[in-house]
């Protein structure tokens, strides 16, 4: 098979605004896929991973956010990457497989041999080149990225049983109550175009079943029977689970880091993971101590337009966005500083997300009770030391335009936009 005929299309599922409220308060200001991790929008990390694939013809983002949320981003990115990046809006949520199916004509337009499907809120190393080689070797309908985790963690995800020699997927169980396997579904897939036939089959079967059962109008209204709706089809439960054990699907295991970004606390950890990855993939993005800027410790990203005072100490695991100003004697550890933030002398920020245009006064202190050590191995919040950063008040989040006055201490709080804090607060949500 000649290389030229092996075209690849990538599809990234980005979800929509009403799908979940767990990413609030950050999702009140920005669409979750565009929230920056390690200095780049969340969705950009999988996009850049796809770009490394040879013969990548097109990248599609599928979701149900308004078009205008992604319009500027996709056109700028298409120009920069020289690969068309396009956002496709579902008219209503169709489930992960339903969304793919709705746009099958576009996806298959350039006759791709392989279709990469990624969930936008997955943070991992995206080993797509090796996974694609494995997928082509196995010649199946699909290959799923899996990772071995501890049994307690596994029960929160889809568990897969795979043949240790061939990698064939033998069994799939979504969030099982009892132990099935310690291999979890990472939400990264490579499919052959056959997948659309599989989805079509499920759709028809559902439709026939509904007709056969002659649903009463009462049953049809029940939202509990949502799964019976021919329109809402989930990739994992409805398409992949029945195909397990039929020599159609394969599992490709990764040893690298993996997280699912469900709540803001996890985004801090993922920002740290991506910063760590820059050491090998994009070392030029990592900041270094020099005479003009602050002292840098560990992995730090500083946008070129941000200004940092030489007496400030930044890092490890800090990401600073455009036009931020970090004053003298400031200490930043494990935090995300968004655009236009101003931090005055001697302020301290630890394990927090500081929202766009916010300002911290002199000797202000924004932090958590127990500082996290982000170099732990287990995903999703289980690690040694510190509090649980996945809980609602696990980290401190300041929304857009929040002003923290001089000497005020803010610990494990969520502060919504445009508030001014003139007294210290602990473990509170401030609307």
Partner 1 sequence: MKALILVGGFGTRLRPLTLSLPKPLVDFANKPMILHQIEALKEAGVDEVVLAINYQPEVMMRFLKDFEAKLGIKITCSQEREPMGTAGPLALARDKLVDGSGEPFFVLNSDVISEYPLKQMIAFHKSHGKEATIMVTKVEEPSKYGVVVMDDATGAVQRFVEKPQIFVGNKINAGIYLLSPQTVDRIELRPTSMEKEIFPAIAAEKQLFAMVLPGFWMDIGQPKDYITGLRLYLESIRRKSPEKLSIGAHVVGNVMIDPSARIGSGCLIGPDVAVGPDCVIEEGVRLSRCTVMRGAQIRKHSCVSGSIIGWHSKLGQWTRIENMTVLGEDVQVKDELYSNGGVVLPHKEIKTSILKPEIVM
Q: Which residues bind partner 1 (CB under 8 A)?
A: 18, 21, 24-25, 28, 392, 414, 416-419, 429, 431
Q: Minimum Å distance from CB 76 to partner 1?
A: 25
What are the phi and psi torsion angles at 313 (to 5°)?
A: -120, 125
If the CB atoms of residues 326 and 397 are measured against partner 1, the closer one turns out to be 397
What are the phi and psi torsion angles at 185 (to 5°)?
A: -75, 120
Q: Encoding tokens for residue 100?
A: 């793919």
Q: Minimum Å distance from CB 430 to partner 1?
A: 8
Nearest to 25 by CA among 394, 320, 332, 400: 400
* Contact predicate 58/83, CB 8 Å: yes
Q: Compute, in degrees rounded to 10, the torsion defined by CA atoms 321, 327, 328, 329.
A: -60
If the CB atoms of residues 28 and 205 are measured against partner 1, the closer one turns out to be 28
If the CB atoms of residues 175 and 418 are measured against partner 1, the closer one turns out to be 418
* Contact predicate 26/397, CB 8 Å: yes
Radius of gyration of the chain (CA): 23
Q: Minimum Å distance from CB 393 to partner 1?
A: 10
Residue that is written with structure tokens 């202000």 in the block: 364
Q: Minimum Å distance from CB 425 to partner 1?
A: 13
Q: Minimum Å distance from CB 73 to partner 1?
A: 22
If the CB atoms of residues 376 and 430 are measured against partner 1, the closer one turns out to be 430
DSSP 236: I
Q: Minimum Å distance from CB 158 to partner 1?
A: 23
What are the phi and psi torsion angles at 283 (to 5°)?
A: -60, -25
Nearest to 99 by CA among 112, 86, 108, 90: 90
Distances in Å between the Cα of 375 and the Cα atoms of 149, 202, 283 are 16, 43, 19
If the CB atoms of residues 5 and 18 are measured against partner 1, the closer one turns out to be 18
If the CB atoms of residues 26 and 354 are measured against partner 1, the closer one turns out to be 26
**C-alpha span between 239 and 153 (Å, rounded):** 24
Q: Given the DSSP bridges, would you call strands 331-333 and 313-314 parallel, antiparallel or unpaired?
A: parallel
If the CB atoms of residues 297 and 417 are measured against partner 1, the closer one turns out to be 417
**C-alpha span between 13 and 117 (Å, rounded):** 7
If the CB atoms of residues 125 and 396 are measured against partner 1, the closer one turns out to be 396
Q: Minimum Å distance from CB 426 to partner 1?
A: 15
Q: Minimum Å distance from CB 22 to partner 1?
A: 9
């Amino acid at each position: 098979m000649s290389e030229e005929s092996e075209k690849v299309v990538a599809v990234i599922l980005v979800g929509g605004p009403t799908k979940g409220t767990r990413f609030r308060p950050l999702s009140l200001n920005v669409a979750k896929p565009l929230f920056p991790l390690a200095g780049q929008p969340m969705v950009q990390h999988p996009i850049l991973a796809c770009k490394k694939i040879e013969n990548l013809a097109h990248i599609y983002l599928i979701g149900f956010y308004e078009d205008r949320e992604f319009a500027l981003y996709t056109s700028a990115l298409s120009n920069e990457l020289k690969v068309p990046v396009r956002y496709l809006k579902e008219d209503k949520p169709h489930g992960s497989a339903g969304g793919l199916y709705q746009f099958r004509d576009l996806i298959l337009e350039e006759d791709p041999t392989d279709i990469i499907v990624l969930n936008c809120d997955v943070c991992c190393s995206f080993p797509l080149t090796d996974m694609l080689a494995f997928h082509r070797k196995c010649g199946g309908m699909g290959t799923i990225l899996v990772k071995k985790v501890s049994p307690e963690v596994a029960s929160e995800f889809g568990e897969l049983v795979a043949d240790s020699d061939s990698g064939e997927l033998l069994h799939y169980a979504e969030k099982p109550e009892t132990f099935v396997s310690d291999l979890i579904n990472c939400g990264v897939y490579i499919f052959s175009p056959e997948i659309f036939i599989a989805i079509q089959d499920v759709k028809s079967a559902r439709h026939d079943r509904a007709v056969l059962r002659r649903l009463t109008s009462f049953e049809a209204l029940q939202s509990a029977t949502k799964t019976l709706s021919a329109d809402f089809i989930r990739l994992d439960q409805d398409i992949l689970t029945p195909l397990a054990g039929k020599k159609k699907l394969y599992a490709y295991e990764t040893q690298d880091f993996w997280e699912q970004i469900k709540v803001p606390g996890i985004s801090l950890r993922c920002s740290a993971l991506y910063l760590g990855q820059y050491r090998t993939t994009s070392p030029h993005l990592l900041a270094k101590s020099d005479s003009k800027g602050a002292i840098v410790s560990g992995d730090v990203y500083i946008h070129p337009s941000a200004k940092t005072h030489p007496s400030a100490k930044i890092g490890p695991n800090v990401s600073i966005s455009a036009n931020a100003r970090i004053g003298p004697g400031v200490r930043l550890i494990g935090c995300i500083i968004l655009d236009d933030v101003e931090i005055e002398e001697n302020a301290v920020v630890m394990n927090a997300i500081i929202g766009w245009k916010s300002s911290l006064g002199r000797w202000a202190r924004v932090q958590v009770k127990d500082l996290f050590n982000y170099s732990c191995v287990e995903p999703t919040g289980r690690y040694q030391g510190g509090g649980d950063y996945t809980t609602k008040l696990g980290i401190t989040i300041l929304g857009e335009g929040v002003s923290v006055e001089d000497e005020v201490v803010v610990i494990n709080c969520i502060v919504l936009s445009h508030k001014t804090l003139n007294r210290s607060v602990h473990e509170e949500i401030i609307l």
